[in-house]
């Protein structure tokens, strides 16, 4: 009998009798075409055997090294308290909070997540999360079309993460290309008929973009302005809401989520109150119970698939509640000063590394552009540099394929690691 099924043979017999059938096979008499074979899977492993073999498989991955890769996922500190809370069975093993009387924990934590995202983005309404940063961007693209009642066509530049651009297109939204010069986007000629204008800041190359200019250009075209922001950056950069953006979206992974080979992370989405009907996904709202006690409940459900079906504003149902909880606990632990310090540590270390590389004669791809913790540096042979870094026990940056390496520096990197990076890259040729 399977590993987590508690019945004894006697239980099974008694239950079959109650049902009025003779055998388990009889319960499947209606199943046609039946599968008569046996699933060709490896024999069951005990827990110990399964985990031992999982360890062996995991050892084939190169981990335990300083990581200079970013491009949408960042090697940041995850405080121990985050995992302690997210592994609480009451949170981890619950479903979407359809029964609010026994789901106040999840509902309040969603409300707190929404509040944190609203505070960071400077926008009034946040949802409970979507799958990741890329799908948040794609959902925002569809949202702009619904709100403006235009065809889904959005203006983007090379500053928008290439992966996000691909997901927008997979969601059947057309891209219009804006010029990208010297590391930033030129918003002076936005076509008149687009539904949305996207600005990522810091952009794919780590550079701070002009969100205010993007917002103005979008509004002049009758489109919505969508800002794509790393939430850590919002501790130091002006909020997209204050700069006129209508929607802010992004990847919440830097807020306390393990890299985990790309997921689970969480996408966040925030907007102005007037656009809330077009915001996809769950929203937790505050209310009272019969006795007047403050409580929380999923609200504005009329936007969602289980109520509105074919006319819902998205098909999203399950989102990323548990990783959104991780973000909430992370933000609570850090607070405004901690988040700012994470940002400043990263900025200081990144600028130290960029400075040292420049001293060694390497050129930044966009030397004049203001960057935070990620930058593109031109190297004679990026592959060779990365091979040498790996040899030295360092995971190098992203090979942009055009003679430059995209290097991300987080608060985890030590001066020693940065110095080693420079030495190795310098001697790689």
Partner 1 sequence: MLIKDRGRAGRRGYRLPEFDVERVGLEDVIPERHLRREKPDLPEVDEPAVIRHYTNLSRKNWGIDTNFYPLGSCTMKHNPRANEEAAKIPGFATLHPLQPEEQVQGALEVMHDLQGYLSEISGLPAVSLQPAAGAHGELTSILMVARYFEEVGDESRTTVLVPSTAHGTNPATATMAGFKAKEIGLDERGCVEVEELRAAVDETTAALMITNPNTLGVYEQNIEEISEILHDAGAFLYMDGANVNAIMGRMRPAEAGVDVMHFNLHKTFSTPHGGGGPGCGAIACSEALAPFRPDPVVEKAGDAYRLARPEKSIGRIMGFHGNFGVMVRAWNYIRMHGPELKDVTDMAVLNANYVRARIREKYRIPYDTLCKHEFTAQPPKGKRALDIAKGLIDRGFHPPTIYFPLVVKEAMLIEPTETEPKETLDAFVDALLELAEADPGELEEAPERAFTRRLDETRAARQLVARW
Nearest to 133, CA basis, from 263, 328, 317, 300: 263
Q: Does 66 bind partner 1 (CB under 8 A)?
A: no
| Residue whose tokens read 């590389």 | 357
| Residue whose tokens read 């700069």 | 243
Q: Does 268 bind partner 1 (CB under 8 A)?
A: no
Among 66, 126, 154, 200, binds partner 1 (CB under 8 A): 126
Among 157, 161, 184, 195, binds partner 1 (CB under 8 A): 161
d(CA 64, CA 261): 14
Among 9, 188, 189, 318, binds partner 1 (CB under 8 A): 318
Q: Does 244 bind partner 1 (CB under 8 A)?
A: no
Q: Which distant-in-sequence residues (6+ apart) come within 8 Å of 196 by Cβ? A: 140, 141, 143, 144, 145, 148, 154, 155, 218, 223, 224, 225, 226, 247
Shortest spacing between CB 189 and partner 1, in angstroms: 22
81-110 residues in contact with partner 1 (CB under 8 A) are 81, 83-106, 108-110
Residue closer to partner 1, measured from CB, 65 or 176: 65
Q: What is the CA radius of gyration of the chain?
A: 25
Among 182, 287, 358, 427, binds partner 1 (CB under 8 A): 287
Q: Does 305 bind partner 1 (CB under 8 A)?
A: yes
d(CA 165, CA 398): 18
* Contact range with partner 1 by CB under 8 A, out of 175-183, 191-199, 306-314, 360-368: 306-314
| Residue whose tokens read 């990076």 | 421
332-361 residues in contact with partner 1 (CB under 8 A) are 332-339, 341-342, 344-345, 347-349, 351-352
Signed CA dihedral, 273, 275, 279, 285: sign only: positive
Residue closer to partner 1, measured from CB, 222 or 348: 348
Determine the size of the site formed for partner 1 (CB under 8 A).
205
Among 9, 293, 368, 402, binds partner 1 (CB under 8 A): 293
Binding mask 205-234 for partner 1 (x = CB under 8 A): ---x-xxx---------------------x
Nearest to 70, CA basis, from 420, 323, 412: 412
d(CA 219, CA 196): 9
Shortest spacing between CB 343 and partner 1, in angstroms: 9
Q: Is 260 left (phi over 0), alpha (psi -120 to 50) or beta?
A: left
Q: How far is CA 428 from the centre of its chain?
A: 34
Shortest spacing between CB 86 and partner 1, in angstroms: 8
Residue closer to partner 1, measured from CB, 330 or 362: 330
* Token pair listed for 286: 């505050």
Q: Does 238 bind partner 1 (CB under 8 A)?
A: yes
Residue closer to partner 1, measured from CB, 4 or 149: 4
d(CA 359, CA 53): 47
Residue closer to partner 1, measured from CB, 24 or 220: 24
Binding mask 362-381 for partner 1 (x = CB under 8 A): --------xxx---------
For residue 100, count CB atoms less than 10 angstroms from its CB and return exposed for 0-12, middle for 13-18, buried for 19 or more: middle
164-193 residues in contact with partner 1 (CB under 8 A) are 164, 166-167, 169-172
Among 158, 176, 276, 422, binds partner 1 (CB under 8 A): 276
Residue closer to partner 1, measured from CB, 61 or 189: 61
Residue closer to partner 1, measured from CB, 123 or 224: 123
Cis before 382? omega within 30: no
Signed CA dihedral, 77, 82, 83, 84: sign only: positive
Nearest to 143, CA basis, from 303, 306, 327: 303
Residue closer to partner 1, measured from CB, 53 or 222: 53
| Residue whose tokens read 């239980």 | 11
Residue closer to partner 1, measured from CB, 169 or 177: 169
Q: Does 401 bind partner 1 (CB under 8 A)?
A: no
């Amino acid at each position: 009998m399977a590993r987590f099924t508690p019945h004894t043979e006697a239980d099974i017999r008694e239950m079959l009798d109650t049902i009025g059938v003779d055998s388990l096979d009889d319960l499947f008499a209606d199943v046609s075409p039946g599968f008569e074979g046996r699933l060709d899977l490896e024999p069951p492993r005990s827990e110990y055997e399964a985990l031992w073999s999982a360890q062996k498989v995991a050892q084939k991955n190169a981990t335990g090294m300083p990581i200079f890769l970013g491009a949408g996922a960042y090697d940041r500190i995850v405080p121990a308290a985050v995992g302690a809370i997210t592994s609480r069975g009451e949170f981890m093993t619950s479903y979407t909070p359809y029964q609010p009387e026994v789901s106040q924990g999840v509902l309040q934590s969603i409300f707190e997540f929404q509040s944190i995202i609203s505070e960071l983005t400077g926008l009034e309404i946040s949802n409970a999360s979507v799958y990741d940063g890329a799908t948040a961007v794609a959902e925002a693209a569809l949202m702009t079309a619904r709100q403006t009642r235009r065809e889904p066509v959005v203006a983007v530049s090379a500053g928008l993460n290439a992966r996000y651009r691909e997901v927008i297109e997979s969601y059947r939204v057309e891209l219009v290309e804006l010029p990208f010069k010297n590391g930033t986007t030129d918003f002076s000629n936005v076509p008149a008929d687009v539904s949305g204008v996207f600005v990522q800041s810091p952009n794919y190359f780590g550079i701070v973009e002009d969100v205010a200019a993007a917002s103005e250009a979008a509004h002049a075209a009758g489109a919505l302005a969508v800002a794509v922001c790393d939430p850590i950056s919002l501790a130091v950069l002006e909020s997209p809401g204050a700069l006129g953006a209508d929607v802010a979206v992004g990847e919440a992974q830097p807020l306390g989520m393990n890299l985990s080979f790309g997921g689970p992370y969480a996408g966040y989405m925030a907007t102005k109150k007037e656009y809330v009907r077009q915001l996809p996904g769950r929203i937790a709202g505050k209310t009272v119970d019969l006795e007047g006690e403050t409580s929380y409940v999923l609200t504005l459900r009329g936007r969602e698939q289980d109520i509105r079906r074919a006319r819902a504003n998205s098909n999203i149902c399950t989102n990323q509640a548990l990783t959104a909880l991780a973000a909430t606990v992370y933000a609570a632990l850090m607070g405004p000063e901690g988040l700012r310090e994470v940002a400043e540590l990263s900025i200081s270390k990144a600028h130290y590394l960029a400075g040292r590389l420049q001293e060694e004669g390497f050129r930044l791809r966009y030397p004049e552009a203001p960057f935070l913790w990620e930058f593109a540096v031109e190297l004679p042979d990026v592959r060779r540099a990365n091979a040498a870094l790996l040899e030295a026990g360092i995971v190098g940056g992203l090979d942009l394929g055009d003679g430059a390496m995209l290097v991300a520096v987080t608060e985890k990197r030590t001066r020693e690691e940065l110095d080693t990076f420079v030495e190795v890259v310098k001697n790689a040729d």
